Amino acid sequence: MWIVYAFGSAIFAGLTSILAKCGIRQTDSTVATAIRTIVVLAFSWLMVFVVGSQGQIGFIGGKTLIFLILSGLATGASWLCYFKALQIGDINKVVPIDKSSTVLTILLAFIFLHEEISLTKAIAVVLIAIGTFMMIEKKDAKPQESKGKGWLFYAVGSAVFASLTAILGKVGISGVESNLGTAIRTVVVLIMAWVMVFATGKQGEIHKVPKNELGFICLSGLATGASWLCYYKALHDGLASVVVPIDKLSILVTIAFSYIVFHEHLSKKAAGGLVLIVAGTLVMLI
C-alpha cells in the first residue's frame, strides 16, 4: 500500500512545480514560499485532526522531535532554493537537478539507515544518474528566456537539502504517526520561511502579490500538502531508497505540464535522459 502513497506523492509534487511557477512570475520566491507554507500547515494539521493523532503529541520522544525539526529545517532550505531556482530558470532545467537527489538519498540511506544496495539498485542508480546528467545538459530553452546562471546553484542546493530531508524525515517519523510528523515539520518550515522573509527585508513585497499569482501559490500549497502526506506515509511504511525514486517520477507530470503551460520543449538528448530516469526508477521497484 505504501507504494500507492509514493505514486500519489509523485503526482501532487509534479503539480506543485507547475502551480508554483505560475505563482512566482512577479512575486518574490521567498515571499511565495512563506505564503504557501501557511496553506501547507493548515492542510497538514487538518489531516492530523481527521485521523485523530493529535493526542500523540505528548508522547513524542526527544530524539524523534529533534529529527523532525532537523528534517523541517532541511525542507525549508530545499524549498527556498528550489523556488528561487524555478523563478530564475526553466522548469525543464531545474527539475532534473532537483530530482538528482535520488542518487544521494540512496547512498545516505545505505550509510545511515543500513538499507541494502543490491546489484539491481546499483544499476538503477547508474541509470538515474546518467539520465539526470543528460537532462541537465539539454540546451533547448531560448537564450532570451534565461535570466542568468544563478538558478544552477539554487537547484543543486535544493537537491542536497532534499536528500537530507528524506533521511532525517525517515528517522523522525519512525516513532510518530506520519500525519502528525508532517504537521510538526511544517511548523518548522513555516517559521524558517518567514524568518527568511524578514531577514532579507522582503516583508514589504507581501502586499504587492498579484491576486492571480496568490491563487496559484495557494493551490501550490495544497498540492504540496497532499504530496507530503502521501510521501511521509510511504516513508513511514516503506523503504526510503524505494519511496524517494518513485516520488521523483513527478518529473513526468512536471515536464508534461511545462510543455502544455509554458511551451518548454525537450531536446532528443533530454528525452533520452528522461527515459533513463524512468527506467532506473522502475528497476528500483524490482
For residues 212 and 143, give the distance between their C-alpha atoms in angstroms, rounded to a whole number.
27
Are the C-beta atoms of residues 266 and 138 closer than 8 Å to each other?
yes
In this prediction, residue 136 carries a pLDDT of 72
Domain span at residue 237 reads 2-143+150-284
Helix orientation angle between 150-172 and 178-199, rounded to the nearest 10 degrees: 150
Torsion of CA 271, 275, 276, 277, to 10 degrees: 100
Mean of all residue pLDDT scores within the chain? 85
In this prediction, residue 135 carries a pLDDT of 80
Residue 149 banded pLDDT, cuts 50, 70, 90: low
In this prediction, residue 145 carries a pLDDT of 46
> For the residues 51-69, what does the mean pLDDT come to?
88
Residue 139 banded pLDDT, cuts 50, 70, 90: very low
Domain count, the chain: 1
In this prediction, residue 137 carries a pLDDT of 55
How many beta carbons lie within 10 A of that of residue 268, not counting itself?
10
pLDDT tens profile 185-205: 899 999 999 999 999 999 999
21, pLDDT greater than 70: yes
> pTM value?
0.77
